[in-house]
Structure 1
Amino acid sequence: KAALYSLEPAVRRQALRQLGTRRVAEAAAEITGRLEDEEPSVRFQAATALGRIGDPESVRPLTEALLRGEKDDLARFAMFTALNQVGRQNPATWPAIVQSMIGRDPEHRDLAPLVLRETYDPALVTALSTFSLSPEVSLPRRLIAIGLLADLHRQLPPWKGEWWVYHPVNQPPPKKSVDWTGTQEVASTLRRLLESGTGEIRTAAIEWIGKAEITSAAQDLRTLFDRHPDVETHQKVLPVLGRLHDTNCGPMVVALLDTPGSSGPLLEIALETAAEVGSPTNHLTPLLAASIAALSTNAALTLPQAVKSLEVLGRLRDPAALGALTNRLQDTNLPVAVAAIRALASAGGPASTLLPALQDPRPELLHAAVAAVGSLRGREAVPRLIELAGRTEFREEAFRALAAMPDLRALDLFVDHLASENFSLRDLAAQALGSLRKEALPRLEQRASTLKPEVLAAVQALYPQDDPAHKGPLFASQAAVRRPEDYLAHALAHPGSPLNGQRLFLNPSGVACVRCHRSLDAGGDVGPDLGGMGSQFDRRTLAESVLWPSKVVREGYLQTVLELRSGDTVAGLIKGESAESLTLRDAQGRNQTLPKTDIVSRKTSSLSLMPEGLHAALSPEEFTDLIAYLESLKSSTRGPFADPPKGFLPIFTGTNLSGWNPSGGTAPGWEAKGGILERGTTEEDLPTGSSIADFRLQLEWRWADAPRPETFELVDGDGNPARDSQGRPATRPALGAGEGGILVRGFAKAAIALSCRPVGSGDLPGYRTDPGSPKEVRAGVLPRRQADRPIGAWNLMEVVARGDKVTILLNGDEVVHEAPLPGLPPRGPIVLQHGTGRIQFRNLFVQPLE
């Protein structure tokens, strides 16, 4: 204990650590004194020791230390953790902890959730209940206590997954679904609070009963609904009854639906409540559907109400309501007609009623009708769907509808889509042909000699053990196709282009990785977030995971396969489940909520939701580019306030434009914030406030806007515009996001381009495109290769200017080497340029070389 008073902080820390580890209770009073130590690390150890010892007398000093406004994050964490530990070891202290932590000062109201977090202790529930019910406690403090109490209604289910794989923190939090000994008291207290004379307390109780899904409170809510006929109370109670799936509230919902002049918001709430309590189908469904069907004909409905009424009829799926939906299929009001079509499909109505809608000239309605006919398997619509598949704007939707009900009349379309770049369409085509394989064989044999090798291989795969087919013209020649191993070998032997790989990743009409995976702030969440993937896995592992996605399937990404009563099979990742329904997300990133009454069987597959064969739509070069992009997704340890390299001086403070722009440190449109210097939408140069001669400049930059498809002209090895075989300008599709630059010594001609063009950043077009420049000058300023990182990632550039020569390094690659720049002035400012898009700079450092 004597060491607690040492002049050395390290000694005090060690003493506290040892006393806490040994739980020396008699030292608690002296340890408490160290909560006011001048050294934050000592305060941290003091709080940690008190938490381990668990002395009830520690509650007051720990509370006072927190309320003094501890500034050190670690010490603050140790203090509120220690309070929690004291309470767990001494349940009788919970009332005092609750009283002190649910502060009177708004500045400290965030402390209580931290101290009491995830603490399932009956004594704490009792303390919070007493506090919530006490009229002597101020209203704001009671409201905080009610929220903390409701959060303890149920516990989380036990964790059964894996840690440190595919960012588990990014997954949606699991639902609290496990009852414990405090569940009943929490529910009882919230039900008692519904009787409070204070409107704010009642409102909080209603809200938390809904969030905690306390079904035992449904009767109390119905009573409250009847006792308080005001619209405001009804608007708060009805959604909670719907969330609780309380079918006993049916009569009050019907009464609202049948009452002329019900207020707009309340009517829409009643419609949503009807959908929640009336599905899956139960005794209340026909009654609700009849009321809503009658309501949908009311000309006084607003447009949102009319659309909502039809949508709810679709969710109720009551056969008696189909007539009301059919009557609105070609409504002159487009949103109403579209809602009726979608509702009819949801309700399982007859596809024949949609045939007139397939002739409607309105594109949005036609899109909805095509999707609806496909979901209803309306074979009478096949000829019209084949016709629509020939129109660009309807091609994919019409094809998907046809694939959902394979028909020999659409055989040519299925065969053609076997060569589609879009894997999902290619897979649908193979499935459709598989179901038609017997009837389709004669026609496929007639076309065998005209099929492309990859299409012929896909067709042959449909007949693996069919002797008649193997003896016919379909197998007269064996299609030569690349094996996955060929793609792997190419990816391991060549570097590839990360930028072209990003284009492939984001292309929704190709392999469409972006539909399921997220990277650089873009993409879906069906599969794992690929941020930092290049830091976690080597190139071979990344390539193998694309070629053989089911080789290793991590916990959380195993697909669930459902067999439905309709005979369909649905597969996807479970994204939500209740007692009545199950929500799956399929490989296209679409959520589908299915009533459990429609599910015959459910099993977990060992296969990944990511399908096999994605590579088949790519050339080996494109596959290598895709892997290069995945490999480039590496976590960065460098932030916006990095230390300057040895010998360099910072020229950007990170917070303002001091040292820039001779006009006084301000530049319209440029913003300095959080270590980032950004320029938005208009052209504007930003020069340094002083001139410099020879220098070495180091900076980072990136494009902040989402990439967009563009087409760029190419240049040849001499820096001239490239030409194709017909003498036209050669172009290449690529992703773009903006144009910017860096002026060397303020000389306009010496602008170093920052761009997304295939020529690469580091180009000096002022010299390269000048017909008066010597050939060796034009060739010298042409970047040796495109070394840019994918759009959205930070690029590191270094510019060395000595005399009239410039060397440029981009992301570690020397792209320009001592290029002569005739006419370059001996001194001048460094100028940042902005052309288009949002460009950001950070960590700008310069080393004078004079």
Structure 2
Amino acid sequence: MKSIATVVAFLPLAATAELKSVPLFNGTDLSGWKGEGYVVQDGTIVCTPQGKTLVTERIYADYAFDFEFKLPPGGNNGIGIHYPGSGDAAYAGMEVQVLDNTSEKYKDLKPYQFHGSLYTLLAAKKAPLKPVGEWNQERIAVRGDRVQVTVNGEVITEGNLADLSKEFPKHEGVKRRSGHIALCGHGDAVAFRNMRISEAAPAANDEGAKQSGFTQIFDGETLKGWKHTEADLAHWQPVNGILKYDGKAKDLWSEKEYGDFSLAFDWRWAGPGPVMKRPVIGPDGKETGEQIEVQELDSGVYVRGNSKSQVNLWNWPCGSGEVYGYRTDRSQPADVIAGVTPKKKMDKPVGEWNRTMITMKGDKLTVSINGEVVIEEARLPGVAAKGKIALQHHGSLIDFANIWIKEL
């Protein structure tokens, strides 16, 4: 089977157009954030003397984060990006400095400690900061390997994370391409407001997909073609080509039924899950008795309108693509159980996009993840000849994008 990349391929990264942004802070409380030592005052988030790390509940990748900040004399804070949620944000992720460079106590700063620098990694140009006590505007943009920091309209930091990871091989955070956003407090009363984020969907060759016979079944802006109510829009939210789901509503079903098809789409986990032990599954589809701790994240795609023929998207040791309903059905022949077990785990780290293709022809299923076939012509005895497709969930935060289908 051809790699999915030959049909819905990544395009070279071009300049990112201005995208619709959504609030990251509601101006009233700390909904959507976790941590202690920060308070909301007059529509701003203010670090208290006890403030350390305040973290978004969601995970982000490929975005522009816009905000305003106000420094007290000698104020010190930071913006953690690609932060995994634990450890020191400056090393487990990366920290963009937020600092009053004019303070006498910082007269001996190292170049990478000035405002806008990636701490220990990349020095910024001198930031055009306004006088202490006035509001400044800042944008932190990350897309793939690129990072850029703009303060009050002037670009002060530009870097390539792949190059920096080679220069600093022991720095774990610079290797990451997704994670939480964090405020990295040092007990100073630094204030933040008007915090918004605009995320970019992964690039895809739409024209190539059309020429290959694929039809878009998510237009990136609405839920047209999917059964839904107005209430569902609070949970299944289309933004900038991304279908963002908060795990708090019902599964999303296509209006149309499909028989033989190839379904291509991108997906990623948009938030962490609880750490649990999950079984190791052998190539024969049987559990080996060994268990590994993973973040419990669980979703999937129902094909032919049936939960038994669900292609799992999950974080188990065996990887996504597994068909749980058939693998755990001990009445099935051994070749069926082995066939619906992934050949290898091809999932990218939590928070990063995965490109997937599901093909159904007759009762045969093939699944490709990130360019690698993990399920190849597995038999699904008794599967319906036709049925609707559903984006299924078990409460995990998940994003979808670039959903295309070709009827065979």
TM-score tier, shorter chain, comes to 0.5 to 0.7
**How far apart are 1:836 and its partner, in Å?**
1.6
Match of 1:732 in 2: 292
TM (norm. structure 1) is 0.28
Q: Distance in 2 between matches of 1:526 and 1:839?
A: 30
Partner of 1:848 in structure 2?
A: 407
**Equivalents in 1 of 2:377, 2:358: separation in Å?**
10
**Number of aligned residue pairs:** 265
Amino acid at match of 1:843: N
Aligned counterpart for 2:242 among listed residues 669, 676, 688: 676
For 2:323 and 2:161, locate their aligned partners in 1 and report how far apart those are by CA, in whole Å. Answer: 37
Structure 2 match to 1:516: 91
Which residue number in structure 1 is paired with residue 360 of structure 2?
Answer: 801
> What does residue 773 of structure 1 align with?
332
CA distance in 1, matches of 2:303, 2:91: 43
**1:717 to 2:340 alignment:** no
The corresponding residue for 1:817 is 376
Deviation at 1:676, TM superposition (A): 2.0
Aligned partners of 1:797 and 1:809 also within 8 Å? yes
Q: Could you tell me which amino acid in structure 2 is paired with residue 719 of structure 1?
A: G
Residue 705 of structure 1 corresponds to 271
SS of equivalent residue, structure 1 residue 815: strand
Rate the CA distance shift 1:845–1:644 in 2: closer, same or farther, 3 A: farther
Equivalent residue number for residue 315 of structure 2: 756
Q: CA deviation at 1:681?
A: 2.7
Give me the whole-angstrom Cα distance separating, in 1, the residues matched to 2:291 and 2:239. 38
Q: Does 1:655 align with 2:221?
A: yes
CA contact (8 A) 1:675 1:842 kept: yes
Give the gaps of 5 or more residues in structure 2: 1-17, 19-63, 76-81, 97-116, 123-141, 147-158, 173-183, 189-198
Query: In the superposition, relative to structure 1, how do residues 781 and 808 fare at CA in structure 2: closer, same or farther (>3 Å)?
Result: same
Greater strand percent: which structure? 2
Superposed displacement of residue 821, structure 1: 0.5
Considering Cα pairs closer than 8 Å and 6+ residues apart, tell me whether 1 or 2 has the greater RCO.
Answer: 2
Distance 1:807 1:543, change over 3 A: same
Over 3 Å counting, the alpha-carbon distance change for 1:698 and 1:520 in structure 2 is farther
Question: Aligned partner of 2:337: which letter?
Answer: R
Counterpart Cα distance in 2 of 1:520 and 1:686:
37
Secondary structure at 1:770's aligned position in 2? coil
* SS of equivalent residue, structure 1 residue 767: helix
Please report how far the alpha carbon of residue 774 of structure 1 lies from its aligned counterpart in structure 2 after TM superposition: 0.9
In 1: Cα distance, 2:353 partner to 2:121 partner = 22
Normalized per residue, the structure richer in helix is 1
Q: Which moved more, 1:753-762 or 1:672-681?
A: 672-681
Deviations 1:452-480 (A, max 9, x none): xxxxxxxxxxxxxxxxxxxxxxxxxxxxx
**Residues 665 and 777 from structure 1, CA distance in 2 versus in 1: closer, same or farther, beyond 3 angstroms?**
farther
Amino acid at match of 2:169: V
What residue identity is the alignment partner of 1:797? T
Aligned to 1:834: 393
CA distance in 1, matches of 2:95, 2:270: 10
The separation in 2 between residues aligned to 1:590 and 1:664, in whole angstroms, is: 42
Counterpart amino acid of residue 657 in structure 1: L
Once the two structures are superposed, what CA deviation does each residue of 1:557-601 show, in whole Å capped at 9, x if it has no partner?
Answer: xxxxxxxxxxxxxxxxxxxxxxxxxxxxxxxx77499xxxxxxxx
Residue aligning to 1:526: 119
The within-5 A match list for 1:229-628 is 506=84, 508=86, 512=87, 514-518=89-93, 526-528=119-121, 532-533=144-145, 536=160, 542=165, 545-547=168-170, 591=186
State the shift of 1:517 in Å. 5.0
Mapped partners of 2:202, 2:338: distance in 1: 34
CA 1:688–1:637 in structure 2 vs 1: closer, same or farther (change >3 Å)?
closer
Distance 1:721-1:824 versus aligned 2 partners, 3 A rule:
same
How many Å apart are 1:841 and its aligned residue?
1.0
Which amino acid letter does the alignment assign opposite residue 348 of structure 2?
R
Q: CA deviation at 1:665?
A: 8.9
Aligned mates of 2:170, 2:205 — CA distance in 1:
40
Which residue pairs with 2:102 in the alignment?
none
Per the TM alignment, residue 641 of structure 1 is displaced from its structure 2 partner at its CA by 9.9
Tell me the distance in 2 between the aligned counterparts of 1:808 and 1:548.
Answer: 35
Asked whether the equivalents of residues 283 and 343 of structure 2 are also in contact (C-alpha less than 8 Å), the reply is no
SS of the residue 2:247 aligns to = coil
Are the counterparts in 1 of residues 89 and 95 from structure 2 also a CA contact under 8 Å? no
Equivalent pair of 2:270/2:397 in contact (CA under 8 Å): yes
The alignment partner of 2:304 has SS state of: helix
**1:696: which partner in 2?**
262
Asked if the contact 2:255–2:388 (Cα under 8 Å) also holds between the matched residues in 1, the reply is yes
Q: Decide whether aligned partners of structure 1 residues 513 and 709 sit closer, same or farther in structure 2, where only a CA change above 3 A counts.
A: farther
Residue aligned with 1:748, SS: strand
Instruction: Using structure 2 for the length normalisation, give the TM-score.
Output: 0.55
Structure 1 match to 2:202 = 638
Q: CA deviation at 1:745?
A: 0.9
Structure 1 match to 2:345: 786
CA deviation after TM superposition for structure 1 residue 648, in Å: 0.6
Deviation, 1:514, is 4.1
Cα distance change of structure 1 residues 658 and 644 upon mapping to structure 2, 3 Å threshold = farther
- Tell me the CA shift for residue 705 of structure 1: 1.2
Question: In structure 2, how many angstroms separate the alpha carbons of the residues matched to 1:845 and 1:644?
Answer: 12
Secondary structure in 1 matching 2:359 = strand
Cα pair 2:202 2:401 within 8 Å, conserved: no
Inter-CA distance 687–519: structure 2 relative to 1 (3 Å threshold): farther
Structure-2 separation of matches of 1:520 and 1:637: 24
**What CA distance in whole angstroms lies between the structure 1 residues aligned with 2:395 and 2:260?**
29
SS in 2 for 1:843: strand
2-structure distance, mates of 1:708, 1:520: 25
In the alignment, the residues of structure 1 paired with residue 171 and residue 303 of structure 2 have an alpha-carbon distance, to the nearest angstrom, of 49
Contact kept in structure 2, 1:767 and 1:773, CA below 8 Å: yes
C-alpha separation in 2, matches of 1:526 and 1:754: 35
Deviations 1:104-161 (A, max 9, x none): xxxxxxxxxxxxxxxxxxxxxxxxxxxxxxxxxxxxxxxxxxxxxxxxxxxxxxxxxx
For residue 773 of structure 1, what is the amino acid of its counterpart?
Q
> Offset of 1:686 from its aligned partner?
1.5
CA drift of 1:760 comes to 0.5
- Equivalent residues of 1:516, 1:525 under 8 A apart: no
Q: Secondary structure at the match of 2:263?
A: strand
Instruction: Report if aligned partners of 1:712, 1:732 keep a CA contact under 8 Å in 2.
Output: yes
**CA distance in structure 1 between the partners assigned to 2:245 and 2:200 by the alignment:** 23
Q: CA deviation at 1:682?
A: 3.0
Output the amino acid matched with 1:698: A
Contact 2:319 2:344 in 1 (8 A): yes
Q: Is the 8 A contact 2:200 2:241 kept in 1?
A: no
Larger radius of gyration between Structure 1 and Structure 2? 1
| Cα contact 2:200–2:240 (8 A) shared by 1 | no
CA shift in 2, pair 1:739/1:548, >3 Å: closer
- In the superposition, relative to structure 1, how do residues 520 and 814 fare at CA in structure 2: closer, same or farther (>3 Å)? farther
Partner of 2:301: 742
Q: Gapped runs of 5+ residues in structure 1?
A: 1-72, 74-168, 174-209, 212-238, 246-275, 277-501, 550-588, 594-634, 724-729
